[in-house]
Structure 1
């Protein structure tokens, strides 16, 4: 018989209630909390890979964009030595080149640039042309088929064909014509070369419509005349210009420049490149430059001299190396969030198992099997977890757009699976038959964790971080988490004993509230009657990863500032042009700027020589003359060339004390105590090596060949020019805008544009502008916020689980005369020890992680400049994370205590209550 059974009266007997619907109706709040927890965890898991992808893509595009179109283009060239080309052939080769670019390399929307140019410019002999230093100006001829689209004629007409013996018609930029003092109709005569003399006539003037556009890159001096210098010493300046010719005059290029060069430049659209597709883009570029694609192009265009070049392969490799170098540090924060989230999901499952243990055991006693019970729990979880997880994944994909979905879907699926299986697995373990003493199994597991932590730390200290180019280092990412896990396990062993001792000490007093609360904190609550280790693990993971990551970012900021100071020579610098000195009024005004802590006027020259320094005879040196006290402060701030200013105290009649570099000190070691003789700026002064320094803030580099003299009457008498400083350095918060404005108004008008003004703030901003570093920092702080949220959730879950029992206890104590304030104090005494111990225990573990793992961390990729390997332990970044999390936990505990304190006694004291 099918269907429902019938009663003796003929009525149908009610069947079993549907499990899932019944359970959801019985505990709707627990179901909603489970859905919310799964939703948040899946949302973060799905959004994280896409956020990482966006950061990597932005970093790649910014890195390539900063290199400019010249280095991010595919350039093909050929010369007239292997045959001349017509305009139609130029266009045909361009079409062939464009057709061979694949999907991985998209061309910039601005379009390719192609044409022909004379390989060398011709010197112009017209006497009326400007010659800054008696050198003839140079004129180069260029044919650009697309010039009409990027120029506007402002006078005359565009060039046309001319007879072979007539001057070639050219068009000049209007600014070039003004610089060279030429006008329409001017005939330009050239100096003879192997082809004889040549002439050009100016028939048009134009303005470029997009002077700063990609089109004019690598086409120098076509939009304005360029002031160049000869390679010979001493260099001499001269004007260099480019002129446009007609397509019919291509045959005039080779005689003009001895050879004509045909070129095709294909700018790559760096905005379409993606970090995950960089290997395929690099492969396609390599094939285009020197691979099968290049060979096929040579055959297709019929020119054996076709040469294709590009800086893109090297740039791609640099970009990949940068990403791999930053990956280990950027992964620490997300790994911490993943660990804390996993612990919270397990904690929720454990607390749910404790809450429903009696129910599950009753089902087992009434004939249910473990398999059927677990299957029902899976169905119960699937109804709540899976829809919430699907909604969270869809929302993450919507809020964080990106081209890739596989990583997000995989991460979301893993978290959803953990959320779904955590409680059924816990129930399966609870209903399993006993398998021996639990404490022994726990001890073995804890010893295994400690051994794995020790092995990970030892291996990181032994081999260091994975070498550059190896990508993500799982060991470096896992080591802080293992340290936090080990710390939590040790703390879970120590905390009951320590809190028990404090409880016994509190029991000797007159009050019972502290004693009772501390005793409950040491004993634990719930069915197991011992403190749960999972909230400790969550808190320690959050504090350890936060403290370690904050130390990394703090060290990055300090190292970036130090690198900027070494590049500038302090926090501010003003340098006069060569051969000039700084006006005294400018020096005094700069010293009076707000924020300037130390003003250091310096006179320096690099053409000094020291005699008497061993058998080498004369040694070339750079001489620095500065006030000893101010210079010592500058050297200390910059971290280069530190010394004790007392060693530069000069004695009357004795050789002038000097700071010398190590190489000079070694060279002078053979001369004994004999003084050295320094020749500089026509002066000769006897010096003695008073101290050896590792360089000078005035000069970057290794600091070889440096002599530092104290400013004073002796140095001024020997070298009169040293009384007029040519450089100024400062320490303190120097404002870049004010310093630049001061130089514009205080320096001589003719020389002001040639003054060099730099500040460490500008260099720090430049070093920190890399999107790779910004995305790593933003990812860390977002991860820290998420980890703190999950840690607070772990505390809240623990409090909520113990709330019914605690509320019943408070109600009973209220009947015995316990006041409401004492009830709040009891809750705080019970809940805060574990949270505070976890927070400050996490601070100790984070400090230990910095000490143990810090020497192996290379921060150069995050700083933006080469810096020494290693992390320094700074107390504040670690303490700030611990104090912040402790304050948040205390706030949560206080809120829960206030809520528990308002419960009515009659609500909690019920007949048959077994709590």
Structure 2
């Protein structure tokens, strides 16, 4: 007897193309399923680390302070304590390898009474003396020497930065006596002296070593405290001088007391977004828990305090991450749903292709379990190797410490791809010919899906999204999928009737091509009732629905950012003059001519003006003078302080000026007291809450019309702001402002401020966490479209041989090639168009039902009360784009079919 042929090898050799396509599908789906979670983790980790780095090195660590010990050997005790702290804290938190930064600093600085030193407002400069371990390794001496020890009664040797010495006028080798501190009127008597023995410069000012003592690199300009209008603040210079380890005792003497400090920087590059909760617990344990108790006991010091801003930053990062998680999961959930449908569709098509073979095996005595094992062997050979390759590629191309979610996703998809075909074939073999029972089961399943969808949507609309910190909201993620599933099942019921109506309409038209194609489409692909038709429809509806909802989210986020940016700056463009100056007329004229400017107006502003509201009673108000017509358009565009410009018309000479005031003032006549004591009567003609020119200003606002108030302008001065409405180019506005107004304002230098709504909107979106969520949206939308297109190709591939045979038979009856193309389009495109329309309608329902419950604030970058808004553009783009892709796939398949020879398709006994 001959040896039986190996089953798996024989079947794969019989259909190599099907095996290759199955392997490619498994590779793609497993790769994407493993890549999406890892890409999300990488985006979340990068966003977390960027957020923490923005806070600065001083905030990314633990600060430990204590009273100085009685021992004279302070430097050695600081070293020992630093080692103990590093060992204890390093067991829980990843510390930066640069090591701790520690030293001793005085409680107060002392003023230098030398009259030769720089005094901006007549206030003498101040010097604080500080010892920081290893400072001489992070600087470069330009002259003199590094300070050492000082004999009893001798001045304390110090080193000062070259920049601070030049600013204050300090000279090398000079002895300076210390007086009372500016902030302490009852401080220590001037009985201490310091000698400048060295000048240094720092090549890397951004080194975290100098994070907390920036005034050791250059002199800082401070202000004296003010006790009221009669005592305005005055400027004075302040600098930090460095002492050597031998002078730790003199640090306390100069500073009228001192404290020891240690800063243990945490290595933020190793922190992970998925472990923020545990990191927060560890920080709490170190700051006020059992670890803090052990450290305080082991240090044997008095008044030990452990503080850190890092825990606050991490808790805030957790809230931001939790608020975005649910929104970020909408896109990947849609892609996962479409991928699952595509796998089931591929399994159903494979089962249909081999139904006759499997039934013949069953009739010849094969058992269902044996058939299942053999089909499982086929699936294992075609699915497992490419699935393993896809997972390895995802783990290699997207490295991240967290591997469990990606592994679970890849294993789940692999299991589905492995079992879909054997299970589907086994179920088909067990089916009986009882169509009534099968129809009843289908109806009950559809009703169950409908009930689940209604319950999920109702619950989300009623309670809203799960609060921040609760993790991903499963109902919010599942609701769009359930809506798409319900819409697809409803379309599957209605599609034959709808296409049948079109077929009856085409029957009354001349020509048989349209009627024939629509009739075949109404009966199902190729006219076969056994061929699955719900799965391709479900894939397309899911793709359009999830893609449209994701695109609507991104479109709404962009719109809300533009609205928030315009509201914040009071217009589409704003330029504020430097403090104490005004905008020149040349700039106002040139700015009004910039491309895109639709309406522009200079604004005169007077802050803190006295206004008499009754006899003996006055309040402080902010006065704004502007052209009413232009300013009303600006207020309308900004969405704040809207008013009717006709209210400010009038104002005859000698009459009170018409004014719009805040709503907390009564209507009537008031008097403004200008700087020189001049009284300006005003008459309230209306109320307005807020005004674009004074966004964020505290107090009562008064708006005066420019025409009647022209006589006041010489006493007010020039315009303080310029506002405009229109798409003004950000770069051109900044260049024009710098040309006429000089350098822009910075954190340390005054100057003009130029802002545009486009620039503000870009700044709102300049958050790595938001950018990561948006990238995931677009990647998920692309993956969803890819899987939907793949479902169309699978359906066309399965129906292709039968369609080609039908066309060949019709060609023998006189069908022309162009008519054959029209026939294929009439058969295939209606289903695609119906699916695109159904997906668009389902997306509209999803936005209307779920939109009010979605909080877009975390993605916008600012608090907003408006949920998801229905806009036609993103939904139409997704529906039409997917319909176009499907149509191109049909045309490509038609071009391939047209090349087949008639004699090849009309072989006797061929069952296609």
TM-score, structure 2 normalization? 0.94
Query: Cα offset for 1:773?
Result: 0.7
Looking at structure 2, the residues matched to 146 and 721 of structure 1 have their Cα atoms a distance apart, in angstroms, of 58
Query: Cα offset for 1:677?
Result: 3.7
2:142 is matched with which residue: 154, 158, 163?
154
1:140 is matched with which residue: 128, 140, 149?
128
Looking at structure 2, the residues matched to 610 and 86 of structure 1 have their Cα atoms a distance apart, in angstroms, of 61
CA displacement 1:537-565 (0-9 Å, x = unmatched):
11111111111111111111121222222
Structure 2: where are the runs of 5+ without partners?
181-186
Partner of 2:909: 912
Partner of 1:745: 739
Looking at structure 2, the residues matched to 837 and 749 of structure 1 have their Cα atoms a distance apart, in angstroms, of 60
Q: Judge which range, 573-582 or 739-748, deviates more.
A: 739-748
Q: Pick closer, same or farther for the CA change 1:380–1:907 going to 2, 3 Å.
A: same
Partner of 1:3: none
1:378 is matched with which residue: 346, 369, 376?
376
Contact 2:738 2:744 in 1 (8 A): no
Q: Is the partner of 1:603 in helix, strand or coil? A: strand
Partner of 1:7: none
Contact 1:663 1:704 in 2 (8 A): no
Partner of 2:184: none
Looking at structure 2, the residues matched to 120 and 758 of structure 1 have their Cα atoms a distance apart, in angstroms, of 41
Looking at structure 1, the residues matched to 437 and 671 of structure 2 have their Cα atoms a distance apart, in angstroms, of 85
CA displacement 1:799-832 (0-9 Å, x = unmatched):
1111111111111111111100000000000000
Partner of 2:219: 225
Looking at structure 1, the residues matched to 911 and 446 of structure 2 have their Cα atoms a distance apart, in angstroms, of 34
CA displacement 1:809-867 (0-9 Å, x = unmatched):
11111111110000000000000011111112211211211111111111111111112
Q: Pick closer, same or farther for the CA change 1:329–1:22 going to 2, 3 Å.
A: same
1:33 is matched with which residue: 21, 29, 34?
21
Looking at structure 2, the residues matched to 779 and 229 of structure 1 have their Cα atoms a distance apart, in angstroms, of 49
Query: Cα offset for 1:262?
Result: 1.0
1:130 is matched with which residue: 94, 108, 118?
118
Partner of 1:898: 895
Looking at structure 2, the residues matched to 102 and 277 of structure 1 have their Cα atoms a distance apart, in angstroms, of 17
Looking at structure 2, the residues matched to 292 and 627 of structure 1 have their Cα atoms a distance apart, in angstroms, of 66
Q: Pick closer, same or farther for the CA change 1:532–1:88 going to 2, 3 Å.
A: same
Q: Judge which range, 598-607 or 653-662, deviates more.
A: 653-662
Q: Judge which range, 253-262 or 146-155, deviates more.
A: 253-262
Q: Pick closer, same or farther for the CA change 1:258–1:313 going to 2, 3 Å.
A: same
CA displacement 1:429-463 (0-9 Å, x = unmatched):
21114365222221111111111111111111100
Looking at structure 1, the residues matched to 73 and 65 of structure 2 have their Cα atoms a distance apart, in angstroms, of 12
Q: Is the partner of 1:449 in helix, strand or coil? A: helix
Q: CA RMSD in A?
A: 2.2
1:412 is matched with which residue: 401, 410, 413?
410
Partner of 1:109: 97
Query: Cα offset for 1:793?
Result: 0.7
Contact 1:449 1:482 in 2 (8 A): yes
Query: Cα offset for 1:597?
Result: 3.2
Query: Cα offset for 1:530?
Result: 7.3
Contact 1:547 1:843 in 2 (8 A): yes
CA displacement 1:738-785 (0-9 Å, x = unmatched):
333333331378999522233333332322221111111111111111
Superposed, which structure 2 residues align to 1:211-222 within 5 Å?
Answer: 211-222=205-216
Looking at structure 1, the residues matched to 175 and 671 of structure 2 have their Cα atoms a distance apart, in angstroms, of 60
Partner of 1:8: none
Q: Is the partner of 1:221 in helix, strand or coil? A: helix
Query: Cα offset for 1:104?
Result: 5.1
Partner of 1:638: 638
1:697 is matched with which residue: 684, 692, 698?
692
Query: Cα offset for 1:316?
Result: 1.0
Partner of 2:319: 321
Partner of 1:65: 53
Superposed, which structure 2 residues align to 1:331-480 within 5 Å?
Answer: 331-434=329-432, 436-480=436-480
Partner of 1:873: 870
Q: Pick closer, same or farther for the CA change 1:269–1:757 going to 2, 3 Å.
A: same
Q: Pick closer, same or farther for the CA change 1:886–1:686 going to 2, 3 Å.
A: farther
Query: Cα offset for 1:83?
Result: 6.6
Query: Cα offset for 1:527?
Result: 3.6
Q: Is the partner of 1:172 in helix, strand or coil? A: strand
Partner of 1:507: 507
1:766 is matched with which residue: 738, 763, 766?
763
Q: Pick closer, same or farther for the CA change 1:338–1:103 going to 2, 3 Å.
A: farther
Looking at structure 2, the residues matched to 819 and 616 of structure 1 have their Cα atoms a distance apart, in angstroms, of 100
CA displacement 1:122-169 (0-9 Å, x = unmatched):
011111111111111111001122111011111111112222322211
Looking at structure 2, the residues matched to 748 and 791 of structure 1 have their Cα atoms a distance apart, in angstroms, of 56
Contact 1:715 1:722 in 2 (8 A): no
1:790 is matched with which residue: 773, 787, 790?
787
Partner of 2:4: 16
Query: Cα offset for 1:103?
Result: 5.2
Q: Judge which range, 732-741 or 413-422, deviates more.
A: 732-741
Q: Judge which range, 628-637 or 472-481, deviates more.
A: 628-637
Partner of 1:4: none
* 1:200 equivalenced with 2:194 (yes/no): yes
Q: Is the partner of 1:78 in helix, strand or coil? A: strand
Looking at structure 2, the residues matched to 212 and 647 of structure 1 have their Cα atoms a distance apart, in angstroms, of 55
Looking at structure 2, the residues matched to 649 and 35 of structure 1 have their Cα atoms a distance apart, in angstroms, of 77
CA displacement 1:457-482 (0-9 Å, x = unmatched):
11111001111221211111111111
Q: Judge which range, 724-733 or 319-328, deviates more.
A: 724-733
Query: Cα offset for 1:893?
Result: 0.8
* 1:827 equivalenced with 2:821 (yes/no): no
Looking at structure 2, the residues matched to 157 and 468 of structure 1 have their Cα atoms a distance apart, in angstroms, of 57
Contact 1:684 1:719 in 2 (8 A): no
Q: Pick closer, same or farther for the CA change 1:247–1:703 going to 2, 3 Å.
A: closer
TM-score, structure 1 normalization? 0.94
Q: Pick closer, same or farther for the CA change 1:83–1:289 going to 2, 3 Å.
A: farther
Q: How many residue pairs end up in the alignment?
A: 894
Looking at structure 2, the residues matched to 89 and 118 of structure 1 have their Cα atoms a distance apart, in angstroms, of 17
Q: Judge which range, 580-589 or 142-151, deviates more.
A: 580-589
Query: Cα offset for 1:529?
Result: 5.9
Query: Cα offset for 1:97?
Result: 0.8
Partner of 2:800: 803
* 1:564 equivalenced with 2:575 (yes/no): no
Q: Is the partner of 1:22 in helix, strand or coil? A: helix
Q: Judge which range, 241-250 or 848-857, deviates more.
A: 241-250
Looking at structure 1, the residues matched to 401 and 152 of structure 2 have their Cα atoms a distance apart, in angstroms, of 58
Partner of 1:842: 839
Q: Judge which range, 268-277 or 63-72, deviates more.
A: 268-277
Looking at structure 2, the residues matched to 721 and 432 of structure 1 have their Cα atoms a distance apart, in angstroms, of 96
Q: Pick closer, same or farther for the CA change 1:505–1:684 going to 2, 3 Å.
A: farther
Looking at structure 2, the residues matched to 656 and 531 of structure 1 have their Cα atoms a distance apart, in angstroms, of 79
Looking at structure 1, the residues matched to 265 and 828 of structure 2 have their Cα atoms a distance apart, in angstroms, of 64
Contact 1:696 1:703 in 2 (8 A): no
1:883 is matched with which residue: 880, 884, 888?
880
Partner of 2:703: 708
Partner of 1:490: 490
Query: Cα offset for 1:646?
Result: 2.9
